[in-house]
Amino acid sequence: QKEVEQNSGPLSVPEGAIASLNCTYSDRVSQSFFWYRQYSGKSPELIMSIYSNGDKEDGRFTAQLNKASQYVSLLIRDSQPSDSATYLCAVQAGDTGRRALTFGSGTRLQVQP
Amino acid sequence: DAGVIQSPRHEVTEMGQEVTLRCKPISGHDYLFWYRQTMMRGLELLIYFNNNVPIDDSGMPEDRFSAKMPNASFSTLKIQPSEPRDSAVYFCASSLWGPVLESEQFFGPGTRLTVL
């Protein structure tokens, strides 16, 4: 079983709709969770981080974390064609001091104009 | 700040040749990470440093790979000898020291390596 699982997609949504991206992880003691966006041929860029159960909102983005279910999601409201990219879920181990991230394989999002 | 700087951006070499990738982290960052990205395996950690000291090299695939960080502003990843299966995009990332929950990583533009 992969440590961080994502549906590879592509997830296709019309412009203006809500895109919902999901991620599950296997390490129960994971503490920090990140969503990175990666455009084709570019490097990953951080868009959201979340550490506590519940929702965290930043503009059109909302990250949701449920540690009991080992599940983290990203909602993108009012999706724009410029949101078309691969979204990587990353998990930071719960071991004290270990800073490395474990990434999922990414979900490709396509926003149709 | 210029962000994380990597060189070269593209490298094409022949099997058996030595390849050296370079990284300059964001000034003041204490952690430096080397990742590799392929279609088959996704983005995977190779090694990371804290204050120039290697902390975890469990992701380094084999002895052909080595990494150094001689000072706070420079790191190298070397592959010798290179093989076609090493073809990938290699990313360097850096982060600030702080509570684990706040250590966001910033990625460089990557080096696309092709081994023929």
Gap from B81 CA to chain A (nearest CA, Å): 26
Instruction: Test A32 with B45 for CB contact under 8 angstroms.
Output: no
Mutation site, B50, B107, B111, B112, interface A, largest A CB count within 10 A: B107
| Tokens of residue A26, six digits | 């296997």
3-state secondary structure of B86: helix
Q: For residue range A4-57, list pLDDT tens digits in order.
A: 999 888 999 999 999 999 999 998 888 889 999 999 999 999 999 998 899 999
**Longest Cα–Cα distance in chain A:** 45
3-state secondary structure of A82: helix
Closest Cα in chain B to A37: B107
Using CB atoms, pick whichever of B45, B101, B104 lies closest to residue A100. Answer: B45
DSSP B26: P
Chain A residue numbers with beta carbons less than 8 Å from the beta carbon of B91 are 43-44
Cα B55 to Cα A94: distance, rounded to the nearest angstrom: 16
pLDDT of residue A45: 94
Is residue B69 within 8 Å of residue A5, measured between CB atoms? no
Q: For residue range B32-89, list pLDDT tens digits in order.
A: 999 999 999 999 999 999 999 999 998 998 899 999 999 999 999 999 999 999 999 9
Residue B85: CB partners within 8 Å, gap ≥ 6? B115
| Tokens of residue B83, six digits | 């093989």
Q: How many residues does chain A have?
A: 113
pLDDT of residue A95: 59
Instruction: Please provide residue B66's backbone torsions phi and psi, each rounded to the nearest 5 degrees.
Output: -145, 150
Chain B residue numbers with beta carbons less than 8 Å from the beta carbon of A97 are 100
Chain A residue numbers with beta carbons less than 8 Å from the beta carbon of B100 are 31-32, 92, 96-99
Is residue B77 within 8 Å of residue B20, measured between CB atoms? yes
3-state secondary structure of A94: coil
Using alpha carbons, list the distances in angstroms from residue B2 to A106, B25, B89: 27, 9, 21
